[in-house]
Amino acid sequence: MLQKLLQNRRLILASKSPRRSFFLKELHLDFETCVKEVDEIYPLHLKGKEISEYLAILKATPFKLQLQPQDILITADTIVWLEGKALGKPKTKNEAFKMLTSLSGKKHEVISSIALTTIAKQMIISDITEVKFKKLSKDEINFYVDTFKPFDKAGSYGIQEWIGYIGIEKIKGSYFNVMGFPVQKFYKALHEI
């Protein structure tokens, strides 16, 4: 479907996330991956989706002078929002354990934002999904962190992994958004851009 619409365009995914690559492949899109490192630092006054939108736009900044007229750059960011605080990616096992302990038995929001950038314009889309974890035991958390090493995941977990199978009681919103890529909204935005 989108192939005809995008036949004269070049999609560039600026993400190391295997999940985001997977979704683009599943949409039957031709794309290339190119990542430029940026410090994912945001102003402290930002809240909720303001953070993920800011970071998605920030990740596009190093590419702006290199974009060609046919290019569509895709950058994205996901945060976990718990009790007025953003949980990013853990750096250590201890940090991952603390994050999962803080999520245990509670509801939180997973917020993903995608920036679509061309020479002419930039479009930002965001999605919010509410997730409820059961009360997790220390053994369950330790097993997950030791086995799956979720250091590349916001909030220290992947819904598509073991912890999601045994720990998530309820979600309200897009499952794919919790994986870091609101596919339905992305598909619609590509038609619009």
Which residues are part of the catalytic machinery? 77
Burial zone of 72 (CB within 10 Å; 0-12 exposed, 13-18 middle, 19+ buried): buried
Radius of gyration from C-alpha coordinates of the chain: 17
- In whole angstroms, give the CA distance from residue 171 to residue 97: 22
Q: Which helix H or strand E contains 130, and what residues bound it?
A: strand 122-133
Other CB atoms within 10 A of residue 155 CB: 28
Using an 8 Å Cβ cutoff, are 17 and 152 in contact?
yes
What is the Cα–Cα distance from 56 to 114, expressed in whole angstroms?
A: 6
Three-state secondary-structure class, residue 153: coil
Helix axes 138-148, 93-103, angle to 10 degrees: 140
